[in-house]
Structure 1
Amino acid sequence: MTEDTHSVLVVTKDSKLSQSISVMLMPPLFETEVLSDFNEARRRVSERTYNIILVDYSDGEGADFATDASESLSTILLLTPPALFEEVSYRVEGYGIISITNPFDQFYFYNMIKAAIAVQYKVQVLSSQTTKLKVKMEEIKLVNRAKMLLMQNMSMTEQEAHRFIEKNAMDRSMKRTAIADEIIKRYG
């Protein structure tokens, strides 16, 4: 999958609906997979991340699947009957699921897919930032643990321990985390 290709999982028991969606989501812009079994769809979602998941309401089974799948980083669109739209939309909004009415016209559907793509880009940026923050927090914990060990075993102050790690990292052209690892292995 390239940057310009969006992976889409379509989950519906309605073959006419899946066919019309597949016609609108054509390669090379979309890599579309269609499933009619919700349990199989759960398995696939646990194995890989899709950019967009389109789910047919299907007597409530689709809404249940959509809420389960909402734990993934996928943007989820739930195709909902007009008579149930307000009720279902209200129930799934808290999970970050976007409800759209079914049946729909092509222009409306196209706009919702464009919105889903925009949301997906934002999710990817936020996910990347979250990952970077987690890595940074782990580095800080590691260095703090090493400082604590230096304070306990070498009778250093917190500032001296900090300076010791920083100086060693600069003098040896190593990362602070590598120096912290050495300290932890020695004293931990």
Structure 2
Amino acid sequence: MERVLLVSSTEKGTAYLCALLKGYFPAAPALAKNGGEARRLTLDGAYDLVVINAPLPDEFGCELARRVSQSTGAGILLVARADMAAEAAQKVCDAGVFVIEKPIDRRLFDQALRFIAAAQNRLASLLEENARLHRQLQDLRLIDRAKCLLIETLGMTEPQAHRYIEQQAMDLRMTKREIAGEIIRTYEN
């Protein structure tokens, strides 16, 4: 995590949270004083972590946390007064938002940041796996399309078309996807 957005309406809260964050992030966080400004900043830039010091002047912060959770991949930490933290946690827990109480315990803050980093790493690996599977599915569709063309135009059976594509890929040292693309370009026109 490198890019941080701190949403806090009070100067005292901003200074305290900046000092806490400085121990974890070398760069100073981007600052927003209200929910509207934070929404604009999250549209313009990709943040790894969004820290919301609730309440904000234009909203409490739960709505902002849910919105940021839905529209970005950022980890979100909502800091709320002890008497409001449980209610806030109920509202945002299903959106993957971490809630900690004020006054902030440094150990709890450290633990929350580690949990957020772990969750983001897990999410990144799942997104990477999803992209890999999506590419693999596209490859299979392309290869199946090429097989159909070989069956229609050259009268091959499905196993023959499959073997032909595999053999061409091995002989020409190309991927099956590249061979399928060549077959489609050749026989579709």
- What is the alpha-carbon distance in structure 2 between the residues aligned to residue 180 and residue 50 of structure 1? 40
TM-score, length-scaled by structure 2: 0.85
Amino acid across the alignment from 1:67: R
Within 5 Å, which residues of 2 pair with 1:1-188? 6-26=2-22, 29-31=25-27, 32-58=29-55, 60-71=59-70, 72-188=72-188
- What is the alpha-carbon distance in structure 2 between the residues aligned to residue 54 and residue 107 of structure 1? 16
**CA shift for structure 1 position 30:** 4.0
**What is the percent sequence identity of the aligned residues?**
28
Amino acid across the alignment from 2:112: M
**CA shift for structure 1 position 84:** 2.3
Per-residue CA shift, 1:20-71, capped at 9, x if unaligned? 1111112774432222243332233233332211112325442111111112
Q: CA RMSD in A?
A: 2.1
Amino acid across the alignment from 1:17: G
Matched residue pairs, number? 184
- What is the alpha-carbon distance in structure 1 between the residues aligned to residue 61 and residue 24 of structure 2? 27
Amino acid across the alignment from 2:52: V
| Residue ranges of structure 2 left out of the alignment (5+ in a row) | none
**Which deviates more from structure 2 when the two are superposed, residues 79-88 or residues 131-140?**
79-88
- What is the alpha-carbon distance in structure 2 between the residues aligned to residue 90 and residue 121 of structure 1? 24
- What is the alpha-carbon distance in structure 2 between the residues aligned to residue 61 and residue 138 of structure 1? 44
| Contact 1:8-1:30 at 8 Å conserved across structures | no
| Residue ranges of structure 1 left out of the alignment (5+ in a row) | none
**CA shift for structure 1 position 170:** 1.1
Q: Tell me the secondary structure at the aligned position of residue 22 of structure 2.
A: coil
| Contact 1:52-1:120 at 8 Å conserved across structures | no
- What is the alpha-carbon distance in structure 1 between the residues aligned to residue 111 and residue 127 of structure 2? 24
**CA shift for structure 1 position 106:** 2.3
| Contact 1:8-1:52 at 8 Å conserved across structures | yes
- What is the alpha-carbon distance in structure 2 between the residues aligned to residue 43 and residue 154 of structure 1? 57
Amino acid across the alignment from 1:63: C
Q: Tell me the secondary structure at the aligned position of residue 70 of structure 1.
A: helix
Q: Tell me the secondary structure at the aligned position of residue 4 of structure 2.
A: strand
